[in-house]
Structure 1
Amino acid sequence: MALLEIDHINTAYDRIDVLEDVSIKVERGQITCILGANGAGKSTLIRSILGLTPANRGKIIFNGADITHLPTHRIIGQGIACVPEGRRVFPRMTVDENLSVGAYLVGDQKVIQERRDRVKTLFPRLAERANQLAGTMSGGEQAMLAIGRSLMSSPELLIFDEPSLGLSPLFVKENFKIIKEINEMSTTVLLVEQNVRQTLAIAHCGYVIAKGQVVAQGSASELAENSEVQAAYFG
């Protein structure tokens, strides 16, 4: 059974459908990607999963439970975390304080410290800057912190919203390497991106969304060879 199953959902803003009859499966242990241009409906899909803009039709099933109309904090508590577009760290808080925010549902300080240590092993630069204000860090370092903060809840599903946005090519490459490593550490990943080449290089399978609808789906290799995908993204 898929870890996350989105079953024929419609999501609307001001009674205008943004997502129409969208069905997607995220298989446990894999990297599933969602590709699409700006305005395609990718961000609305994430908001629907997280309960920020609930679907008005269809179902969202996570780990066998219907989460379609749960409030966001309960959805997060089920084991879903998101690295938001634009990173959005807390600039006046230190690195360690930002990481602690990611574990706000965890009551055991020993567990929190163990997770913080694990994050710093994955991102040694965060260990070096533990007491630095997040707002004084570079864009690439803030991206590391945003990922690290999301890992503090030890999610079963980690959603990445445009992780390459605004980063230098070097940090983009590093980010995708980290995403692959996180997946190899048994975290299921839903990767929402416009950077098609880098995404298909690490994803197992994916979907293409255009104008709020799924227009193509398949394995990463199938999508790379799909004529419509090639015309739209590879010229």
Structure 2
Amino acid sequence: MSGLQIRNIRSGYDKVDVLHDVSIDVEPGKITCILGANGAGKTTLIRAILGLTPPRAGQVIWDGVDITKEKTHRIVARGIACIPEGRKVFPRMSVEENLILGAYLEKGGAQLRERIDYVYSVFPRLKERSGQLAGTMSGGEQAMVSIGRGLMAAPRLLVIDEPSLGLSPLFVKENFKVIQQINERGITVLLVEQNARQTLAIAHRGYVLTQGRVVAQGSAQELADNDEVRAAYFSKSTGAST
């Protein structure tokens, strides 16, 4: 199987393990989601994939190649890009300057322009405001800049961490629609979220992390119908984003 395969990884910080024997598959061309509350191990999982917190045990395999011990820049060069939690734009740089930073591995000017135009085709609003300082934009617009910067690396796998965090319901809906459109253009997506309702509406398959362990997995519909998942993420008391 090609795509991303995580096999029995254990990872953490200092002497404390956060992830315990975690295995997931991210199928090419699909949206796979990781659901979990704060402290479930979602961010540690992303860091393990990107080589920022290398696993103590297990393997991370990308397109049949073991990348468990590779440096982050080599992993990015293999076609894996990440859009971090909280957007993290460079506020004193323009929209276009932020986008260009996402293509730091690219040397050719013509291809750089082509990628910028591609991002503008996904986000016409960014083209209209290409010269505006990113720090003066709304939270939803900054999220567009962050996603666009990730697309500038021409990834085959896009890892997106908490895209709904801190956004209004309108921008959350818009961002999830864009993520779905990006996937329809052929980019594989690993979507890491707490907002189960929106996430399962666009995902093909998913996993639920609790205290660093996979406690449920299946198709998006199977997870949406799972009584324990519904109790944790769809109850009136917790809302859609526990």
Structure 1 CA distance for aligned equivalents of residues 31 and 119 of structure 2: 20
Structure 1 CA distance for aligned equivalents of residues 92 and 63 of structure 2: 36
Aligned to 1:6: 6
2:214 aligned counterpart, secondary structure:
strand
Q: TM-score, normalised by structure 2?
A: 0.96
Aligned to 1:182: 182
1:81 aligns with 2:81: yes
The answer on whether the counterparts of 1:51 and 1:69 sit within 8 Å (CA) in structure 2 is yes
The answer on whether the counterparts of 1:51 and 1:75 sit within 8 Å (CA) in structure 2 is yes
Number of positions where the alignment pairs a residue of Structure 1 with one of Structure 2:
235
Report the aligned-residue RMSD. 0.6
**How far 1:2 moved relative to its partner?**
3.5
Structure 2 CA distance for aligned equivalents of residues 161 and 169 of structure 1: 17
Structure 1 CA distance for aligned equivalents of residues 14 and 122 of structure 2: 42
Aligned to 1:72: 72
Give 5+ residue unaligned stretches, structure 2. Answer: 236-242
**How far 1:12 moved relative to its partner?**
1.7
Structure 2 CA distance for aligned equivalents of residues 74 and 45 of structure 1: 18
Q: Which runs of 4+ in 1 moved over 3 A?
A: none
Residue by residue over 1:3-26, the C-alpha shift from the partner in whole angstroms, topping out at 9 and shown as x without a partner, is 000000000211111000000000
Residue by residue over 1:78-112, the C-alpha shift from the partner in whole angstroms, topping out at 9 and shown as x without a partner, is 10001100000111111111110011101111001
Aligned to 2:163: 163
Aligned to 1:93: 93
Give 5+ residue unaligned stretches, structure 1. Answer: none
Matches within 5 A, 1:200-215: 200-215=200-215
**How far 1:227 moved relative to its partner?**
1.4
**How far 1:70 moved relative to its partner?**
0.7
1:145 aligned counterpart, secondary structure:
helix
Structure 2 CA distance for aligned equivalents of residues 96 and 13 of structure 1: 36
Identity percentage of aligned residues: 67
Structure 2 CA distance for aligned equivalents of residues 226 and 140 of structure 1: 31
2:112 aligned counterpart, secondary structure:
helix
The answer on whether the counterparts of 1:2 and 1:25 sit within 8 Å (CA) in structure 2 is no
Structure 2 CA distance for aligned equivalents of residues 171 and 227 of structure 1: 29
Residue by residue over 1:7-50, the C-alpha shift from the partner in whole angstroms, topping out at 9 and shown as x without a partner, is 00000211111000000000000000000000000000000001
Structure 1 CA distance for aligned equivalents of residues 204 and 91 of structure 2: 35
Residue by residue over 1:205-225, the C-alpha shift from the partner in whole angstroms, topping out at 9 and shown as x without a partner, is 000000000000000000001
**How far 1:148 moved relative to its partner?**
0.4
Q: TM-score, normalised by structure 1?
A: 0.99
Structure 1 CA distance for aligned equivalents of residues 161 and 12 of structure 2: 20
Aligned to 1:222: 222
Aligned to 1:62: 62
Matches within 5 A, 1:109-148: 109-148=109-148
1:100 aligned counterpart, secondary structure:
helix
